[in-house]
Chains A and B, each alone.
Chain A
Amino acid sequence: MEGLTLSEAEQRYYCDLFSYCDTESTKKVASNGRVLELFRAAQLPNDVVMQIMELCGATRLGYFGRSQFYIALKLVAVAQSGLPLRVESLNTVKDLPLPRFVVSKNEQESRHTALYSSDADNPASYSGVIPPPPGRIQVKKGSVSHDAVQQRTSTDQQESTSPVVSPQQSPPTSPHTWRKHNRHPSGGNNERPLAGPGPFWAPFSEAQPGSSTASDPIWSGHSPPPHQENWVSFADTPPTSALLAMHPASVQDQTTVRTVASATTANEIRRQSSSYDDPWKITDEQRQYYVNQFKTIQPDLNGFIPGSAAKEFFTKSKLPILELSHIWELSDFDKDGALTLDEFCAAFHLVVARKNGYDLPEKLPESLMPKLIDLEDSAEAGEQTAEVGYASSPAEAPPSKSPSMPSLNQTWPELNQSSEQWETFSERSSSSQTLTQFDSNIAPADPDTAIVHPVPIRMTPSKIHMQEMELKRTGSDHANPTSPLLVKPADLPEENKMSSSVKYTAGNTVNGYSSSDSYTSDPEQIGSTVTRQRSHSGTSPDNTAPPPPPPRPHQSHSRSSSLDLNRSFSVTPGQQQAGVVAYPPAVPPRPQPSQGPGPHVHRPVDAEGLIAHTSTSPQQIPEQPNFADFSQFEAFAVSGVSKEDDDEIETHSESLQVEKSSDSASSLRVAKADGRVEDKAPASVPTSAGKGTTPLAPPPKPLRRRLKSEDELRPEAEEHTQKTGVIAAVLASQPSIPRSVGKDKKAIQASIRRNKETNTVLARLNSELQQQLKDVLEERISLEVQLEQLRPFSHL
């Protein structure tokens, strides 16, 4: 067993076979399944196989170590050559042909074994073994292929000329160059590497026939049949077989390194080639060609081609930049902006395919993927780390790659580089995970969820509300709160200013009625916003009360005016002057103490109230005798009150006159007013006699009337219309009153009473309207604020 000497070819072959069988990449043990498969492929009788296994010691050991495997292979060769299986035959048999392994549908392996048996070089025998494939000349293959390989590997310098030409030529034309090179004989050494792995691959690729036929059209279409032999012979070989050919320098160096490399490459190539057949496989010649091209750019096969150099190189192919860009995306696996040998070959292959009219795939075909490191089983630990790095970022997880096998050691730094990148990615992802966790802690404070619940409508709520929500979730998003907070607080003062200005402007206008309608139409939300606004506006500079309501004429007509009124009353009967219109007609100040607070309570005014007034006015006449009572009443000090009442009534009426002058009076009201005027006119006369007496006239009557009016006026519906009616009536009555001349006291007193009542009613009406005005103004402000909020979004 020991001391097994293998020729170089044998060694290579065996090494490749071993790596093929080394499914687990242990480089120590060949998997039994594969070995058995191999032995079956050797077409040896089972007992012979058993014998071989015994002899090599595998049965003893229970597994196929490398040495056992080699011995077994040698024994297979021995057996195939018909020699008896002896241990001694291992070393004694010279010129033993390489063991042949036949796979059922495979025709190539025999071809390739023919290659291997180039030593014997009896093509005829092999052609007999091999059913001649269409258009293939088996005989030539061996020699030609070998020559080609030879030339390829040896004539790097010569091929340096070809790169100048080659980029513009599709690879199918390259055989020309190669054939040129074929004419240059070189040492037979160089053919070994290719020959070794080449036939090795073939037996184990079930898909070879199909692939060969598939790949042939690609290339054969462009190469005349004589070239086919060159291409064809290697068209069947998996592209990565060229890998071994690619490293002639190293190949010639230590065998072990190369064998290891070739074994590992063989491994992957095995896997990859056996899995499918596609038109994207790179033939050996192509591969070699690419390698040579690579070398022209980057002498070190283990190095990178920088992106710019690659760009120049591929631009020479005259493909559109867009396609070149896509090819780059496909081929630059590790996305490092540089092309390794494999990447370069893949890119070159794609360029070639494109130039030959094949559409670029969406994804990099497997055959073009950098096959040095498989995802499933990475030969190197470094690759595994890289794979792990990739796994952390699955989105961009191309298979970790390293350049060609022999240069694995040199590529480790690159790998480490890229793995560092990947590690940084993983770090980032982990950091993001930490961020994720952090965020998840604050998840409940997700902005939208936080905002939603307080506000039924998301976008319509006021900016203030959103600001509140933003303030609540200060911890959640790092960036989010800042921006809205930055934005919102800036807007808040603006909004407040605007709101205040709005309020002021609104306050100055009397739009109570129109806005009140809109207010009622938008209940809660505006109310809510209004409330919020109020809360904020409470702190804002416009906290001040709304501007004073429209001038309250009755304020101007304070108590001091009572005297004037009285004076006017005394004067008006005789004057009928419109100038005195300003003052209520000669209504003697009537003591209407109860009416004092009354007016502020009983805003609602009924026309009925007026009617009551008017109806009672005739009653006042019989009450005239009460006028004397009035004086009595006045005597005990209701005069001031009465005066106030009068004043209020008068001021109310005046204010109403001023404010509501625009109101139109109905004929009915006018009639009533006339009635009242008439009442007032006579009342004014007696009042002229004595101030303050008449007011006292029928306090009970006004009381009653007031009570009545209270009852009537309690329901506050239709206030506005009623008030307007009252106001109109009063206003209508006002001008007529001065004209009345010579009204008796009772009428005056009655009119005074009525006026006071209207005063109270109007005062109440006024206060209520003021309140409504305030509300409406606030609502308007809120609406305007909302508008402001919406505006920035519209113009953003």
Chain B
Amino acid sequence: MAVCIAVIAKENYPLYIRSVPTENELKFHYTVHTSLDVVDEKISAMGKALVDQRELYLGLLYPTEDYKVYGYVTNSKVKFVMVVDSSNTALRDNEIRSMFRKLHNSYTDIMCNPFYNPGDRIHSRAFDNTVTSMMMQVC
């Protein structure tokens, strides 16, 4: 389960960021911010690769002692960053992929909403529910 999930817009500002509340959230914000560099690096490394879901999933961006950061980028350069606790049972890569897929689906649902202006912060309850289902269940 993720500890922090963030949706970053194309211009690298956050559309949605949510962390497990017990942690020092600022640390996760900072981590997500720093991971953007790695995301950009991977995007540029991929070049003009054919758009495939595999390329959407960036994989492990970088590990630290406490947690691992995974990235996912959509075709419109909207990035999803997920911070997972390392002490957790090592989440399989597939699980991370499926979580990202769910996130992506929820995000597209939001985009379909005509009342949502792309670029606004995401306030959707449905999206919140999706994210909550993925977050760690920390009391």
Contact = CB atoms under 8 A, between A and B. Distances in A.
Interface of A: 307-308, 310-311, 314, 321-322, 324-326, 328-329, 332, 335-337, 362, 393, 395-396, 425, 428-429, 431-432, 435-436, 439-440, 443, 446-449, 458-459, 477-480, 482-483, 486, 793, 795-796
B112 A439 contact: no
B24 interface: no
Nearest to B104: A428
Given A336-B112, A396-B109, 18 more contacts: A307-B112, A308-B114, A310-B114, A311-B115, A326-B124, A328-B115, A329-B110, A393-B105, A428-B101, A432-B94, A448-B86, A459-B65, A477-B59, A479-B60, A483-B38, A483-B41, A483-B62, A796-B62
B113 A435 contact: no
B45 interface: yes
B59 A483 contact: yes
Nearest to B97: A432
Interface stretch (B4-12, B13-21, B50-58, B75-83): B50-58
10 contacts: A311-B114, A314-B115, A321-B115, A325-B115, A337-B112, A477-B93, A479-B58, A483-B59, A483-B62, A793-B62
Given A395-B105, A432-B101, A439-B92, A325 B113 contact: yes
Contacts of B63: 448, 459
Contacts of B57: 479
B97 A307 contact: no
Main secondary structure of the interface of B (DSSP, over half): helix
A443 B98 CA distance: 16
A336 B35 CA distance: 33
Q: Name, among B34, B61, B63, the residue most crowded by chain A CB atoms within 10 Å (CB to CB).
A: B63
A461 to B, nearest CB: 12
B124 to A, nearest CB: 6
Nearest to A794: B64
A481 to B, nearest CB: 9
A432 B98 contact: yes
A448 B68 CA distance: 10
A329 B59 contact: no
Contacts of B130: 395
Nearest to A335: B109
Main secondary structure of the interface of A (DSSP, over half): helix
A325 B116 contact: yes
The 3 closest A-B pairs by CB, nearest first: A479-B59, A307-B114, A311-B114
A524 B36 CA distance: 36
A495 to B, nearest CB: 17
B124 A446 contact: no
B90 A449 contact: yes
B29 interface: no
Contacts of B53: 428, 431-432
Nearest to B105: A396
B59 A478 contact: yes
B100 to A, nearest CB: 10
B48 interface: no
Contacts of B110: 329
A311 B98 CA distance: 32
Contacts of B123: 322, 325
Nearest to A338: B112
B25 to A, nearest CB: 18
A329 B102 contact: no
B90 A446 contact: yes
B59 A435 contact: no
B112 A332 contact: yes
B114 A337 contact: yes
Contacts of A314: 115
A390 to B, nearest CB: 12
A430 to B, nearest CB: 12
B62 A478 contact: no
B2 to A, nearest CB: 15
A332 B105 contact: no
Contacts of A479: 42, 57-60
Contacts of B126: 329
A435 B54 contact: yes
B125 interface: yes
A482 B86 CA distance: 21
A57 B97 CA distance: 60
